């Protein structure tokens, strides 16, 4: 298979119909290319079904709303199109990238008057992290850029333009020999990595930063739901940078990464502990449940009385 995403066989769903992979094109003067106004999702296929498809499709529509435009397909239509293109490509496992963007009618800072397009492209791809990395944990460094406050950017939208600082920090980390970078928010508290949410185990409690102006990840919700079902104590709160020294485990979670332990954050070192290993096993069961395509867990956590140490 070609390394280029452009030079592949298969089909992409584009504006209401299946199109041969190589024929799915957009013009160089597309608004989204110049002004970053595309919104997108990342989804995973397990045994022919799309994990949390309804939640992803709803978030895609909401991301466009936050950028003040409407995707001209309903959530149900997007879900049907996603299943259609997965079937057309004969995929039982893999990754899906739905993306909506503003077109060519206007090329200027304002996107008023542009048409809105939607493409859904699935391909065969397993997790991007090796088994060795999952066992030993990945090595992470601190990023220089911070996640902006809600006064500066719509951080709850999955917007292409907002990922530029993530890309810069990911590249910087890789060039320095790390696997990823951990970003602070505008206040100096822990936020997330360049493309995944973070959890810490502190004194027997699973702790994760409150998603004030970054994505409340769908896998993040699943992790909290799995922990809650086990009766573990879970806290969403501001997490200070110095609390990295208090953690017995740290792990990241996201659609592509699933759940992956962190072996180090610069000078802080961790073991791939029982919490992460248990959740990794639980997650593989969760994504294969018959109702896995639904919305999943609420972000509102019921009180939990059992610590992870119990």
If asked whether residues 263 and 137 sit together in one domain, one would say yes
Residue 136: the pLDDT is: 84
Model confidence at 301: pLDDT above 80? no
In which band, very low, low, confident or very high, does the pLDDT at 22 lie, cut at 50, 70 and 90? very high
In which band, very low, low, confident or very high, does the pLDDT at 135 lie, cut at 50, 70 and 90? confident
Let me know: does 198 contact 270? Beta carbons within 8 Å. no
- CATH number of the domain at 265, please: 3.20.10.10
In which band, very low, low, confident or very high, does the pLDDT at 106 lie, cut at 50, 70 and 90? very high
- Residue whose structure tokens are 């810490």: 200
Instruction: Kindly report the length of the chain.
Output: 310
Q: What's the CA gap between 203 and 137, in Å, rounded? A: 20
The percentage of the chain sitting over the pLDDT mark of 70, rounded to a whole number, equals: 92
Model pLDDT for residues 149-159, shown as the tens digit of each residue: 999 999 999 99
Question: Is residue 1 situated within a structural domain?
Answer: no
Tell me what the mean pLDDT of segment 135-147 comes to.
94
Rg of the chain over Cα atoms, rounded to whole angstroms, equals 19
Between CA 94 and CA 98, with CA 83 as vertex, the angle to 5 degrees is: 65
Q: Is 164 buried (19+), middle (13-18) or exposed (0-12) by CB count in 10 A?
A: exposed
Residue 297: the pLDDT is: 74
If asked whether residues 119 and 260 sit together in one domain, one would say no
Give the 3-state secondary structure of residue 184.
strand
If asked whether residues 115 and 191 sit together in one domain, one would say no
Number of domains in the chain: 2
- CATH number of the domain at 68, please: 3.30.470.10
Tell me what the mean pLDDT of segment 223-249 comes to.
97
Residue 122: the pLDDT is: 98
Model confidence at 304: pLDDT above 90? no
Model confidence at 58: pLDDT above 90? yes
Provide the mean pLDDT of the chain.
Answer: 93
Residue 230: the pLDDT is: 97
Residue 126: the pLDDT is: 59
Range of the domain at 216: 131-286
- Taking Cα atoms as reference points, which of 195, 142, 151, 201 lies closest to residue 172? 142
If asked whether residues 149 and 107 sit together in one domain, one would say no
Q: What's the CA gap between 232 and 207, in Å, rounded? A: 11
Bridge partners, 98 (sequence order): 120
Q: Model-level pTM?
A: 0.92
Question: Is residue 60 situated within a structural domain?
Answer: yes
Residue 133: the pLDDT is: 67
If asked whether residues 103 and 163 sit together in one domain, one would say no
If asked whether residues 80 and 211 sit together in one domain, one would say no
Q: Looking at the annotation, which residues are catalytic?
A: 158
Residue 41: the pLDDT is: 98
């Amino acid at each position: 298979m070609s390394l280029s995403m452009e030079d592949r066989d298969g089909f992409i769903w584009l504006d209401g119909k299946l199109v041969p992979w190589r024929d799915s094109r957009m013009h160089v003067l597309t608004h989204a290319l110049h002004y970053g106004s595309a919104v997108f999702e990342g989804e995973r296929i397990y045994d022919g079904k799309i994990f949390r498809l309804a939640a992803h499709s709803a978030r895609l529509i909401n991301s466009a709303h936050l950028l003040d435009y409407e995707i001209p397909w309903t959530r149900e239509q997007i879900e049907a199109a996603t299943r259609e293109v997965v079937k057309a490509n004969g995929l039982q496992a893999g990754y899906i990238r739905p993306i909506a963007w503003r077109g060519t009618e206007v090329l200027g800072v304002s996107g008023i008057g542009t048409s809105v397009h939607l493409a859904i492209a699935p391909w065969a791809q397993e997790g991007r992290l090796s088994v060795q990395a999952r066992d030993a944990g990945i090595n992470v460094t601190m990023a220089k850029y911070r996640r902006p406050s809600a006064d500066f950017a719509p951080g709850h939208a999955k917007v292409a333009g907002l990922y530029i600082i993530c890309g810069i920090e990911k590249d910087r980390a890789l060039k320095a020999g790390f696997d990823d970078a951990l970003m602070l928010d505008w206040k100096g508290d822990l936020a997330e990595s360049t493309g995944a949410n973070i959890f810490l185990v502190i004194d027997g409690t699973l702790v994760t930063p409150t998603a004030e102006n970054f994505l409340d990840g769908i896998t993040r919700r699943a992790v909290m739901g799995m922990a809650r079902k086990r009766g573990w104590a879970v806290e969403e709160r501001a997490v200070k940078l110095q609390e990295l020294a208090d953690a017995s485990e740290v792990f990241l979670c996201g659609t592509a990464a699933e759940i992956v332990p962190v072996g180090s954050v610069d000078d802080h070192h961790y073991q791939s502990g029982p919490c992460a290993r248990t959740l990794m096993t639980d997650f593989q069961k969760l994504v294969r449940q018959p109702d896995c395509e639904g919305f999943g867990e609420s972000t509102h956590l019921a009180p939990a009385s059992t610590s992870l140490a119990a």
